[in-house]
Structure 1
Amino acid sequence: MDFSLYGLWHSMGAFAKGIVITLAIMSLASLLVAGERLIIFSRSRKESLRFAEQLGGVLTSDSLREAAAKSFKGDIGYLGRTIASGLKAFNSGGSSTDEENINLTEESVARALERQTAREVQNLKRGITVLATVSSTAPFVGLLGTVMGIVNSFQQMAASGSGGLGTVSAGIAEALVTTAFGLLVAIPAVMLFNYLSGWVDARAVDLAESSNELMDLVARYHRRHLRTAAQAAE
């Protein structure tokens, strides 16, 4: 018997070939998803860094209104969309010095930042579940091929009436190939899933920190205007 990949493929039964084809499709899907996510992540990170550079010089508690009215060209990335949603909510609150209205504005900004952060994290996670599915199911798909290969071996043994190695070697080889193929598909998928999930978790922390910094600026802006209004009233 030819134990090369070519020889094993031609000695496989229809079921085992179906298992191998299924695993190949799963592997291709995981690689395509990972490639697409890596491109999106790289581009989004560059856009977010560019937005941070554009806004960093103007976003202070003294110029919060000017920053909120500023328009940014091009795509501003996950960071820009999150901060822009908070600035929009801040702008919608007006410039009232009434403490109740100020509290409502700050709550509105916080909710806007929270909603947009959740959207951005969900967008970054899009497709990663494919990697999770492939990494968790590929070994079992390969195991299914293994089980069927062993079943075929016993059937050949029963049909021949003997238990020699030559009788069952083809079925055992078929079983081992599908097992190995399942592991080869699952291992890269697990590594890619862990890497991409860690990247998204890190960006979620970045968004949370940036949102908190914006909320601090909004709070300082309002407290300063309350003091100014109080001094003017005196």
Structure 2
Amino acid sequence: MQLSLTQMIIHAGPIGQTVMALLLFFSVGSWSIIFMKSRLFRNARLDSEDFLEAFWSSKTLSEASTAAEEYAYSPEAAVFKAGFNELKKINSIRNRGDEAGRETLEMQLATMDNLKRALRKAENEQVSKLGSLLPFLATTGSATPFIGLFGTVWGIMISFHDIGQRGSASLAVVAPGISEALVVTAAGLAAAIPAVIFYNYFANKLIGVHDTMQNFSTDFLNLVERDLLSRV
């Protein structure tokens, strides 16, 4: 008797149906993450391009700070806002030092360490934000083939048990059970392959975004240090 895919799932035993439900959960979760991350990385790329253009065309950091508020998805804008807020605190300390007449070049450069730490923290936060849920794709890619294999092995064991009970090993007896078991393997691979592909894709995108943030942080620090040196 020929069975459709749906009929194979319906006629499968409790273990087989549980395995299929688990694979369905991983597959639906993976595709949800894939669509969400695709949109997030796209928005981040577009906003970053616009922010960097606005940043380099701004005449002052205050003007760039106003522009940064318009690009919520840009990691570079978030890094800049964190650095700009820290820079305002540094300038406040610097102004008090000017009033007391105790500020030196060493003290000015020492305050740059705070700015560097603020930028580094903002970079890590953005990497964590963009990379969230990617471990689920990695888990799906590595676990679902084995989950499917378990369902297949269990289905074949049930098929041999049926052969022993019926006392016949004809193709008509063996084929339905084995075909149902192999469907679980196919389902495991169907869940794993897209997860692996898109995990590698997003991981490479994340590396590129991180590199861009680090380059921007370096340029921002260079601007601030040149401004400090010009005041000496």
TM-score when scaled to structure 2? 0.87
Q: Which residue is 1:57 aligned to?
A: 57
The one-letter code sitting in structure 2 at the alignment partner of 1:167 is: V
1:192 has 2:189 as partner: no
The residue identity in structure 2 corresponding to 1:173 is: S
Partner of 1:164: 170
Taking the TM superposition and a 5 Å limit, the aligned residue runs for 1:1-234 are 1-58=1-58, 63=60, 66=62, 70-72=65-67, 73-76=69-72, 77-94=74-91, 95=94, 98-226=104-232
Q: Find the aligned partners of 1:88 and 1:205 in 2 and give their Cα distance.
A: 22
Q: How many residues align?
A: 221
In structure 1, the gaps of 5 or more residues are 227-234
Q: Please report the RMSD computed on the Cα atoms of aligned residues, expressed in angstroms.
A: 1.9
What's the CA shift for 1:79?
A: 0.8
Q: How far does the alpha carbon of each residue in 1:192-231 deviate from its partner, in whole angstroms, 9 at most, with x for none?
A: 11111111111000001111111111222222222xxxxx
Q: Deviations over 1:154-196 (max 9, x none)?
A: 1112112233333322221111110011101110111111111
Q: Which runs of 5+ in 2 are unaligned?
A: none
Rounded to whole Å, the distance in 1 between the matches of 2:40 and 2:84 is: 25
The one-letter amino acid paired with 1:19 is V
Change in CA separation of 1:10 and 1:67 when aligned onto 2, cut-off 3 Å: closer
Q: Is the 8 A contact 1:11 1:170 kept in 2?
A: no
C-alpha separation between the residues in 2 aligned to 1:8 and 1:220?
71
C-alpha contact (below 8 Å) 1:89/1:105 kept by paired residues: no
Say which SS state the counterpart of residue 169 (structure 2) adopts. Answer: coil
Q: Distance in 1 between matches of 2:149 and 2:10?
A: 20
Q: Equivalents in 2 of 1:93, 1:46: separation in Å?
A: 31
